[in-house]
Structures are given as structure tokens and as C-alpha cells.
Amino acid sequence: IKALMLMGFTALLLAGCGKENLTALVPKGYGADESMKLIILTTVIMGGVLLIVVILLAYVAIRFRRKKGQEDFIPKQVEGNHTLETIWTVIPVILVIIMAIPTTLVSFDLADASDKSDNINIDITGNQYWWHFNYQDEEIQTSQDLYIPVGEKVYLNMKSNDVIHSFWVPSISGKMDVNPENTNTMYIEAYEEGVYWGKCAELCGPSHSLMDFKVIVVSKEEYEKWVADMQNYDPEVEPESAVAQEGAELFEQNNCMGCHAIGSSPIEVGPNLTNFGNRTKIAGYLEPTKENLVDWLKDPETLKPGNLMTGKYPELNDDEAEKIAEYLLQMKVTDVTPESAGK
């Protein structure tokens, strides 16, 4: 019955997470695949241990239970048995070694950055509470949505700008701490196109749970198109609509550029806004609608407590916030979508 309940619960979990690609139990990438193998290995070993212990316990409880008329009977007492003690020490040690060897090998393999010269290299910076992505060789800066091609090794160099965060895309990769003092490396490789949910997995402040991001896995061709579009993006180009034009002026007057870059400028005090209109979410978790963006611009503190944008510019009225929102949402490159989109 317990096994059935566990299976039912797991199925529920899988059903709940499937749509958002936020589960380590349905691996869609190399790191997640290796993690899944380790999860199965440890579960089988631990399940085996549990089973043997429960069977022995049940046997002892039944075999030596106190019977009617034998209230004073005490079974033979054993103190010190070298053979038994050796067995129950050696077996667990062997089991731990069986689990430790593949775990260590996989951990070192995923962190191995020695043959990355021919591959895509991305510097990732964790910030309270957003992610910055700097594509070294392509000279592209973006934030929150990480675009990568399917079936290729992508090397990540991760560092934090403030406190310790942890980079985790459960369906594609394992977890890696993102520290302020040192750069941690990890490579990821996605097997299937799709939009994968990423989470910060280290408690980093009041909005830790909202520090979400996405990994958008597309075909090689789509990825190259995206790279070219991003490289050719002209931050000086004038917005088409008059409202967006006014928004651009307000953006400048409120000194938003002090923190936010558009284009390949390396400023990264706040998220890079180059392809803001393509973002899958606003502030990591809000649907990308104009209403949500207006709410965010007017009161970021309520939507993401502790974020650094709060108080950095004068309060905006509805009209101003709407104009800036209009300006930001029209900043787009051609949408590249995973093959699986709409499935």
C-alpha cells in the first residue's frame, strides 16, 4: 500500500510539474540525466536496506514476543559478536562507497571546463534577485532568459555580485552554488528543445523564492538567428509609436540607464533590457503583460521585497508608468521559439 501511495504521489508531482519543466524526475539534459541515475541508484540501495531492516524487525518482534504463560521468559541475551559487528560495519561502508564513486565522478565531470574552447561560454552573475548572462565570444548581454542551442555543451562560469545563490535548472542540470568569492564552472547540455524553469536554490533574502529564470532551448539555426539579432540590435533606434517615444524620454529623464543597459553595454547594476519585449516573465515570475509591468514600475518593493530598484527613481504616476511600459515592451528581437512550443 505504501509503495502504491508513493507511486501515486510521485505521479501527482510529475503531473503538476510536467508543463513547466520544473522537475528533476523527467530529465531533459545531461546533468539531470546523470542526477536521475544517481537518484535511482541511491533509492534502490536505501530501499533495500530499509526492506531488510523492516523484515528483521518484524521477524524478531514476532519470534520473541511474550506468550501467555511464559511471562517470565527472557530470550538468550547476546553481548558482543565480532562476526555480526564486522558485517554490519563493512556492508554499510561498501554501500556508501558504491554511491560515492559515481556521485564524485559525475560532480567532477559536470564542473570540468577544460575543453570549452570550441563551445559556447557564458558568464552568469547572480544578483538579488535576478540573473545576468554574458555571452563572452558573441559579445551579447542579456538577463533572466538564457538562450542555448539544443544538443550542445554550454559552459557556464558563475559568480555572485552579492550573497550566495545557486543556479538550478532541474530538468536540464544539477545545482551549482554561485558564490561572491570565486567562479564556479558547470556545463549543461539540453537534449530537447523547450522552455525550462530555473530556480535560485540557495536562500538569499526575502525574494529568494521569486528569483526564477528560464532556459530557452532552441535549434542551432534559431539560436544563431537569435545571436545575430542580438548583436545587430541598435539601442539608438527610435520607437515606432508616439507613446513609446515618450516612454523613451521618461526612461532617460528618470535615469534608468544608470542601472539598466540596452544593447551590449556591460552595465549590469540591473537587468539588461535589450530583448525585454521577448521576456517570458517580468521580474522573473509575472506574466509579461503591460498591466503587470505598470504595477512593477510603480511599486517594485511589494512585488519583489528587498529588490534594489526600490527607491532608485522618483515615484511614477499611472500615465508615466504606462508610457515607459510601452517603450520597454517594444524592445524586441525576432522571437525564437522551441520546436515543442504549443505542444
Which residues, 6+ apart, have CB-to-CB distance to 216 below 8 Å? 145, 146, 147, 148, 195, 196, 280, 336, 338
Residue 67, by phi and psi: left (phi above 0), alpha (psi -120 to 50) or beta? beta
Applying the rule CB under 6 A, the residues between 157 and 186 that interact with ligand CUA are 165
Kindly tell me which residue out of 110, 176, 200, 283 binds ligand CUA, with binding defined by CB under 6 A: 200
State the DSSP H helix or E strand holding residue 147, giving kind and residue range, or none if neither: strand 145-149
Pick the binder of ligand CUA from 208, 214, 260, 279 (CB under 6 A): 208
Smallest separation (angstroms) from ligand CUA to the CB of 190? 22
User: At 215, phi and psi to the nearest 5?
Assistant: -110, 120
Shortest distance, position 182 Cβ to ligand CUA, whole Å: 17
Site for ligand CUA in 107-166 (CB under 6 A): 126, 129, 165
Cβ 207 to ligand CUA shortest distance, Å: 8
Kindly determine how many residues on this chain lie close enough to bind ligand CUA according to the rule CB under 6 A. 9
Contact yes or no for 122/133 (Cβ under 8 A): yes
Site string for ligand CUA, 255-294 (x = CB under 6 A): ----------------------------------------
CA nearest 123: which of 92, 154, 88?
154
State how far the Cα of 100 lies from the Cα of 79, in Å rounded to an integer. 33
Cβ proximity to ligand CUA: between 149 and 198 the closer is: 198
Exactly one of 202, 222, 246, 295 binds ligand CUA (CB under 6 A); that residue is 202
Q: Which is nearer to ligand CUA, 215 or 333 (CB)?
A: 215
Give the helix ranges, DSSP H, for the chain.
Answer: 2-18, 30-63, 82-111, 220-232, 242-253, 290-298, 300-303, 318-329
Cβ proximity to ligand CUA, 167 vs 187, nearer residue: 167
What residues make contact with ligand CUA under the rule CB under 6 A?
A: 126, 129, 165, 200, 202-204, 208, 211
